[in-house]
Amino acid sequence: MTVETDKVALVSGAAGGIGAAVARALAADGRAVALLDRDRSALDLVAKELAEDGHRVVAVTADVASQAEVTAAVDRAEEALGPVCELVNCAGVLRMGPVLDLSDDDWETTFAVNAGGVFRLSRTVGRRMAERGSGAVVTVASNAAGTARMNMSAYAASKAAATMLTKCLGLELARYGIRCNTVAPGSTYTPMLYGMYDPEDVARSSIEGLPESFRTGIPLRRIAVPPDIADAVLFLLSDRARHITMHDLVVDGGATLGA
């Protein structure tokens, strides 16, 4: 049985994958949830599912690369549900390829969403949280932020930027009682993972590793599923983590060997 709270959470990238799993977990824990994504049709399906289960939810479309769209989306979310007190940055894109072959568009689009989106949403919501004197932010980054990956330079660099941005935000907002943390997933069963490997070879490549790419496997011998990441997000937003801020919680089954 869901216990309703007065908390309102906003989740970007909520139309699928980890973002949708986070939205479901937050709703099940009693939050009202604003779902943000630029994929309207997929977003509406998640919103419909949650609404039919009796949860308070609103779907707002926005491209996190646009400040005007981000501001309008946060305004709509707060008009529908009330002040946002929890923000989860899940929106992300992946453009793969060797550094020497990446286009300017590959680089700029990756940073506009993965780092710029975190900046724009966190700044917009953070200002409002600071005025109210409370709140929590969790950014879903990646274990690639701290471990070099072949053919993933733009993604890894953008996630490293998002991780440090969130830590700096946590330092600056601590005086308002606002905590800011990151969750760093490793390989997780999402469309993004399927796009990296042959679908029939996803498990083997991830669990056993790819020596030719200097990529270790996963010591726990399993690939994460989106709810694994959602549970970590939920913990960092909860009062059980009330004395944790500027922390990077790695959820990768040991793939980065504790680095």
As annotated, the active-site residues are 155
Q: Are residues 199 and 80 in the same domain?
A: no
Q: Are residues 145 and 245 in the same domain?
A: yes
pLDDT at position 142, please? 97
CA distance 154 to 109: 9
**What residue has token string 């549970």?**
231
For 19-49, the pLDDT digits (tens) are 999 999 999 999 999 999 999 999 999 999 9
Spatial contact of 80 and 34, defined as CB atoms under 8 Å apart? yes
Q: Are residues 71 and 158 in the same domain?
A: yes
Q: Are residues 141 and 239 in the same domain?
A: yes
Q: Are residues 135 and 39 in the same domain?
A: yes
Q: Are residues 100 and 197 in the same domain?
A: no
pLDDT at position 212, please? 85
Element (DSSP H or E) covering residue 25: helix 17-28
Q: Are residues 17 and 101 in the same domain?
A: yes
| CATH number where 122 lies | 3.40.50.720
Q: Does residue 105 lie within any of the structural domains?
A: yes
pLDDT < 70: residue spans in the chain:
1-4, 193-200
CA distance 81 to 32: 7
Q: Does residue 257 lie within any of the structural domains?
A: no
Q: Does residue 255 lie within any of the structural domains?
A: no
pLDDT at position 1, please? 45
CA distance 207 to 61: 36
Q: Are residues 64 and 12 in the same domain?
A: yes
Q: Does residue 258 lie within any of the structural domains?
A: no
Domain of residue 47 covers: 8-186+226-250
The beta-strand segments (E) located in the chain are: 8-12, 32-37, 57-61, 86-89, 135-140, 178-185, 248-251
Q: Measured on CA atoms in the order 153, 165, 215, 232, is the torsion positive or negative?
A: negative
The number of angstroms, rounded, from the C-alpha of 127 to the middle of its chain's C-alpha atoms is: 20
Q: Does residue 148 lie within any of the structural domains?
A: yes
Q: Are residues 196 and 182 in the same domain?
A: no
Q: Are residues 104 and 203 in the same domain?
A: no
Q: Are residues 100 and 208 in the same domain?
A: no
CA distance 215 to 204: 12
Q: Does residue 3 lie within any of the structural domains?
A: no
Return all residues near 78 (Cβ < 8 A) that are at least 6 apart: 8, 84, 128
First to last CA, the chain: 39
Q: Does residue 77 lie within any of the structural domains?
A: yes
Q: Are residues 123 and 178 in the same domain?
A: yes
Question: Considering its fold, how many domains does the chain have in total?
Answer: 2
**What residue has token string 């946002």?**
84
pLDDT at position 200, please? 61
